[in-house]
Amino acid sequence: MTPPATNEDAVSSRAGMNRVLAMYGPAVFAGALAVRATDPLVVDIAHDLGSTAAQVALLGTAFTLPFAFVQPILGPIADSVGKRRVVTLCICLLVLMMLMAAAAASLGWLMAFRALSGAAAGGMMPLTLAIMADAVPMRDRQVALSRMLVFGISGQIAGGAIAGPIAAVAGWRGMLVFCAVAAVIGAITLVAASRGVAKEPVTRYDPVVAAKRYRTILANPQAIPLFATVAAEGGLVFGSFPYMATLMISRDIGSTMEAGFVIGAFGFGGLGYAALARLLLNRFGQAMVVRIGGGIGFVALVGLALATSLWVAVAAGFLLGMAFYMIHNAIQTRATELSQQFRGSAVSLHAFSFFTGQSLGPIAFGLGAATVGLGVSLAIAAVLLAALSWSLARRPA
């Protein structure tokens, strides 16, 4: 049993949380901003580059797939050379890749630079969660992680809500430049805050040792079910985002800008959960919060499937954001405890699974849209998300 926290423990925990938030929050914001930057702009990019919306929708996969596949490499490297060093390098690389994407002359080059941007962004949120877990004890960790999520959620809100207005003034390229500027701010903040902080110890990176670490983590009986759950969650929730503008247009309730409102509302729903996280967890406990999230997610996805007005779609986006973070925050917290010794590697496997699911989601929804229709695909996703949340809640934390 965990001993009760003293006032000194509580103060130390809060100080550690605030220090990590101040140092890494802007970088996490920039990484999240880049993830969703092109989702509301699919139609505009397709028109400008002479392509189709279906092809441009794969920009989401082009970003998230490298984000996923770089995780098994970054985790062990970060455990060896220091998590802060890896995050700092990745945020600097993100600046360069976003600028190159903004200058892309064709869809092929845009895909390539979005892929490299995804690999760079892979060093932000996952490793920062591991850094937060190192700094905050388990009793306060889920709340601490929810605070870091505020930066990620805010980036998603900006990516969805302002992409349309920025594109109306400066084009879709202007949105990518905006992402680069946000990454510059994140890099400057991290470098400045790192002055005077103790240097991280460095050990030699050994791929054989890294493989042994992964075998140790996967030997935990909770690991594979948890990673499978987060992969399914990523696909079910985010797979429809690149098709949101298509959905708006087909229902005659909006276009690119309105799709951005729905995706932005998703982020506000996440902020709603972050504000209520401590209250909900204290009142209901983790398992019940996950079940409630599954129910809300079901309602939200059905709402998107049946939406006949913009406001219904926006409300559904808000509820989906709250539901997602109610479920995902519990998965994140459990992932940080899979291996205390190799936490960077464990959280990287978690991120690999999650973003692999996100990468495959648009492909699955694209196939669904072409066969049974996007509305039916959303309804099926609603049932699967509810079932997934109840299965997660039944497993021990």
What would the pLDDT profile of 89-125 be if each residue is shown by its tens digit?
A: 999 999 999 999 999 999 999 999 999 999 999 888 8
The encoded tokens of residue 164 equal 């349309």
CB neighbourhood size of 252 (10 A): 9
Query: Contact 325/267 with Cβ under 8 angstroms?
Result: no
Cα–Cα distance for residue pair 125/94, rounded to 1 Å: 13
Q: Percent of the chain beyond pLDDT 70?
A: 97
pLDDT at 211: 81
Q: Element (H or E) spanning 104, and its range? A: none
d(CA 138, CA 118): 30
Selected residue with higher pLDDT from 288 and 255: 288
Asked if the model's pLDDT at residue 382 lies above 60, the reply is: yes
Q: Out of 35-39, 91-95, 150-154, 372-376, give the one with best mean pLDDT.
A: 91-95
Lowest mean pLDDT among 123-127, 309-313, 371-375: 123-127
Q: In whole numbers, what is the pLDDT of the chain averaged over residues? A: 87
Q: Which two tokens stand for residue 96?
A: 């360069």
List pLDDT tens digits, range 174-208. Answer: 999 999 999 999 999 999 888 877 777 777 777 78
Q: State the average pLDDT over residues 253-274.
A: 84
d(CA 278, CA 256): 35
Non-local (6+) Cβ contacts of 253 within 8 A are: 307, 308, 309, 310, 313
Phi/psi of residue 251, nearest 5 degrees: -90, -5
Residue-range domains of the chain with CATH: 13-194+207-394 (1.20.1250.20)
Q: pLDDT category, 9, cuts 50, 70, 90?
A: low
Nearest Cα residue to 49 out of 171, 178, 133, 151 = 171
